[in-house]
C-alpha cells in the first residue's frame, strides 16, 4: 500500500505519525511546500514575541523520518493530481504513484488587493515570522492589519518588543467571530493598556512607504506593516482534479473526498459544512483518517471549539455560541472594564452552549469541561463564574476532577490518561508530553498538567 500525503504541516505530520504507529510497513511519502521540517504554527506568536526560539516550535525531529521509514520531500510543492493513473506531480516534475492520497494542504494568508500591499508582510509561516522579526529590529513603528486572533497575537508580540504598534480592524470590535461587542471593547482596552493602539471600523486602502492609508485618506504612520487578514483553504489541486470543493475540500465522516482513494484533513477540509481553523480539529481528523487508512473503523463527528488567545498578559477563552442574547438563551454576564474582566455564560435547555472569559479566571477549566460534555449546568450560576465565592466544590481541582475530564483539548488527553502515564513512570510535564502529547498544541493546558502531576507526586510523597 502506497500512501502519499500532500502537506507536511501540523495536520500532515500528525497523520503520518498516527499511520506509522498503526502500520509499521506501509510505504509513506510526504510532500511539503515549505523547505523546513514541520513546526507548531499556533506558537509562532511566541516566536514573534521573543518568548520562544524557532527551534523550540519544531514538531518533528529530522531523524524521525529515516527512523520510521518515511520519505519526506521538503520544498516540493505538488502541482496537480492525476486521478486516472493515481499519481501526484510536483512543480519540479516528479511523479509519485499512490494507492491512497491525503490532502493536508492547509491555508494561505489572505492578502487584500490594495495598492502597495507587497510592502507588507503576511503573518502565517515561520519564514514570515522571521521576516517580521528582522524588520522589527530597525522599525520605529508598526501597523498590524486585522483584529482577529492572529492579528492580536502579532500586535501584542511586537509591542512586547518595545515597538509602537497600531492595530487596524474593519469590524466594529476585535475578534467579532468569537466575541460579542462588549467583550471586544474590553479586550481592546486591555490591549491599549499594553501598548497596542486600537482602531476599529477602519479599512486600509493602500500600503505606502510611510504606513497605511485608510479609506478616509488618513495615513497611519509605520515603517513595518503586518497583514493578519484571515486565511483561505488551499484547494486548487483538489479543484483541478475534479474533487468536490466548496469553501474547503468536501469530506465525509471518514475524511474521504468524493474519490474514495483521496482523503482531506485540517484547514483545507470541509466537513458537514464547516472548515475548522484550529489545531485540535485537525489532529482529531488526522486520527480518524489514520485509523481508516490502516483498515480500522472511525468516524469524525465534528469538533466543539474553544478559542484561546496566546498573548502575554491577556487571558481569553471563548467557546461555542457566544453571540446569543436573552431572547434565545439564558445569559449570565459580568463586566468590570477597569480591571479588564468580562465573563459571559450562554445556557440553553440547562446546558452550557457558549462562554467568554476575558481576564484572569479560575473558572476556565470547569466551564470547558461543562461545554465539552454537554452536561447539565449547576443551579449556582454565579458560582460558575466565580468558583472562589461558591460553597460548591471546585471541579477543576486535581483532587475532584473526574478521570474523564479533558485536560489537553488539542490532543484530547484526559486526566485519567495523565494519571496512567504518571503511574507508568512519568514524573514531570516533559514525560507526560512525550507519552501523551499533552501541552504540545497551543500550550494553554500546561498549568493544568503541572497541577495534576504535582498533586499525584504529593499524594505519594514524591519530591519533584
Among residues 395, 415, 437, the one where a domain terminates is: 395
**For residue 422, is it within any domain?**
yes
Distance CA 205, CA 246 (A): 29
Answer whether residue 363 is part of any domain. yes
Whole-angstrom Cα distance, residue 261 to residue 11?
18
- The strand ranges marked E within 158-305 are 165-169, 196-200, 204-208, 211-214, 219-221, 224-227, 231-233, 249-251, 262-264, 269-271
Give me the residues paired with residue 32 across strands: 74
pLDDT of 3 > 90? The answer is yes
Q: How far apart are CA 123 and CA 230, in angstroms?
A: 10
Q: Which positions ≥6 away from 34 have C-beta within 8 Å?
A: 8, 9, 74, 75, 125, 126, 127
Q: What is the pLDDT of residues 197-236, one digit of tens each?
A: 999 999 999 999 999 999 999 999 999 999 999 999 999 9
- Strands 306-308, 316-320: parallel, antiparallel or unpaired by DSSP? antiparallel
Alpha-carbon distance of 244 to 241, in angstroms, equals: 9
Residue 246: give its domain's CATH number: 3.50.50.60
CATH of the domain at 385: 3.30.390.30
Check whether residue 270 and residue 404 sit in a common domain: no
The residue count for the chain? 464
pLDDT digits (tens, 9 = 90+) for 124-142: 999 999 999 999 999 999 9
pLDDT > 90: percent of the chain: 69
Answer yes or no: do 8 and 62 share one domain. Answer: yes
Q: Which of 206, 229, 252 is the last residue of a domain?
A: 229
Query: Does 416 lie in the same domain as 404?
Result: yes
Looking at the fold, whether 389 and 402 belong to one and the same domain comes out as no
117 — pLDDT class (breaks 50, 70, 90): very high
Of the two residues 245 and 385, the one the predictor is more confident about is 245
Write down which residue in 395, 426, 453 finishes a domain.
395
Q: Is residue 163 part of a domain?
A: yes
Between the alpha carbon of residue 150 and those of residues 46, 58, 357, the distances in Å are 11, 19, 18
Separation of alpha carbons 11 and 419, rounded Å: 27
What are the distances in angstroms from CA 264 to CA 10, 238, 257, 275?
A: 13, 9, 7, 11
Task: Tell me if 309 is assigned to some domain.
Answer: no
Contact between 240 and 149 (Cβ < 8 Å): no
- Domain match, 245 and 103 both: yes
Domain co-membership, 51 together with 102: yes
Claim to verify: residue 217 and residue 237 sit in the same structural domain:
no
DSSP 8-state assignment for residue 274: B
Domain of 332 in residue numbering reads as 315-395
User: Is position 305 within any domain?
Assistant: no
Do residues 141 and 215 share a domain?
yes
Q: pTM of the full predicted structure?
A: 0.87
- Summarised one tens digit per residue, pLDDT across range 336-347 is 999 999 999 999
Report CA dihedral (359, 43, 19, 266) to the nearest 10 degrees.
70
Query: Are 84 and 11 in the same domain?
Result: yes
Q: Cα-Cα-Cα-Cα dihedral of 244, 249, 250, 252, to 10°?
A: 130
* Total domains in the fold of the chain: 4
Residue 135, in any domain of the structure: yes
Q: Are residues 281 and 236 located together in one domain of the fold? A: yes
Residue 310 lies in a domain: no
On whether both 267 and 353 belong to a single domain, the answer is no
Q: Which run of H or of E encompasses 447?
A: helix 446-459
Is 237 in the same domain as 184? no
CB atoms near residue 27 (< 10 Å):
14
Q: Give the model confidence (pLDDT) of 405-451 as tens digits.
A: 778 878 878 888 888 887 777 778 888 887 888 888 777 788 778 88
Query: Which residues, in sequence order, are CB contacts of 420 under 8 Å at separation 6+?
Result: none
User: Considering the domain boundaries, does residue 298 fall inside one?
Assistant: no
Contact between residue 307 and residue 319 where contact means Cβ atoms under 8 Å apart: yes
Amino acid at each position: 500500500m502506497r500512501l502519499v500525503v500532500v502537506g507536511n504541516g501540523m495536520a500532515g505530520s500528525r497523520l503520518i505519525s498516527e499511520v506509522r504507529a498503526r502500520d509499521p510497513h506501509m510505504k509513506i511519502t510526504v510532500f511539503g511546500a515549505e523547505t523546513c521540517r514541520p513546526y507548531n504554527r499556533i506558537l509562532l506568536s511566541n516566536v514573534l514575541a521573543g518568548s520562544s526560539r524557532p527551534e523550540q516550535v519544531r514538531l518533528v525531529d529530522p531523524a524521525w523520518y529515516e527512523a520510521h521509514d518515511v520519505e519526506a520531500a521538503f520544498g516540493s510543492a505538488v502541482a496537480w493530481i492525476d486521478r486516472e493513473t493515481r499519481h501526484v506531480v510536483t512543480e519540479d516534475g516528479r511523479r509519485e504513484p499512490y494507492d491512497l492520497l491525503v490532502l493536508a494542504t492547509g491555508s494561505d494568508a489572505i492578502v487584500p488587493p490594495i495598492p502597495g500591499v507587497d510592502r507588507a508582510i503576511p503573518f502565517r509561516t515561520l519564514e514570515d515570522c522571521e521576516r517580521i522579526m528582522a524588520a522589527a529590529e530597525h522599525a520605529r513603528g508598526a501597523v498590524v492589519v486585522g483584529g482577529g486572533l492572529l492579528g492580536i497575537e502579532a500586535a501584542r508580540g511586537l509591542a512586547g518588543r518595545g515597538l509602537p504598534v497600531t492595530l487596524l480592524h474593519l469590524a466594529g470590535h476585535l475578534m467579532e467571530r468569537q466575541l460579542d461587542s462588549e467583550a471586544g471593547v474590553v479586550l481592546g482596552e486591555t490591549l491599549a493598556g499594553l501598548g497596542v493602539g486600537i482602531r476599529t471600523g477602519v479599512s486600509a486602502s493602500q500600503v505606502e512607504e510611510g504606513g497605511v492609508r485608510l479609506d478616509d485618506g488618513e495615513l497611519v504612520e509605520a515603517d513595518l506593516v503586518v497583514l493578519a487578514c484571515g486565511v483561505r483553504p488551499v484547494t486548487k489541486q483538489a479543484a483541478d482534479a475534479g474533487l468536490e470543493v466548496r469553501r474547503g475540500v468536501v469530506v465525509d465522516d471518514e475524511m474521504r473526498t468524493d474519490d474514495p482513494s483521496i482523503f482531506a484533513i485540517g484547514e483545507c477540509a470541509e466537513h458537514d459544512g464547516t472548515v475548522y481553523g484550529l489545531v485540535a480539529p485537525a489532529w482529531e481528523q488526522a486520527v480518524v483518517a489514520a485509523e481508516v487508512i490502516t483498515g480500522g473503523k472511525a468516524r469524525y463527528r465534528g469538533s466543539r471549539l474553544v478559542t484561546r488567545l496566546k498573548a502575554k498578559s491577556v487571558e481569553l477563552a471563548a467557546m461555542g455560541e457566544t453571540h446569543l442574547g436573552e431572547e434565545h438563551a439564558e445569559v449570565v454576564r459580568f463586566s468590570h472594564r477597569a480591571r479588564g474582566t468580562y465573563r459571559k455564560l450562554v445556557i440553553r435547555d440547562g446546558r452550557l452552549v457558549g462562554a467568554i472569559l476575558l481576564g484572569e479566571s479560575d473558572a476556565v477549566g470547569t466551564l470547558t469541561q461543562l461545554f465539552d460534555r454537554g452536561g447539565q449546568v449547576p443551579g449556582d450560576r454565579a458560582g460558575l463564574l466565580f468558583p472562589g465565592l461558591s460553597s460548591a466544590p471546585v471541579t477543576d481541582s486535581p483532587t475532584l476532577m473526574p478521570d474523564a475530564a479533558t485536560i489537553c483539548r488539542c490532543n484530547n488527553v484526559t486526566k485519567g490518561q495523565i494519571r496512567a502515564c504518571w503511574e507508568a513512570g512519568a514524573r514531570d510535564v516533559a514525560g507526560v508530553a512525550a507519552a501523551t502529547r499533552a501541552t504540545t498544541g497551543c500550550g494553554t493546558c500546561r498549568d493544568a498538567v503541572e497541577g495534576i502531576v504535582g498533586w499525584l507526586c504529593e499524594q505519594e510523597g514524591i519530591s519533584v
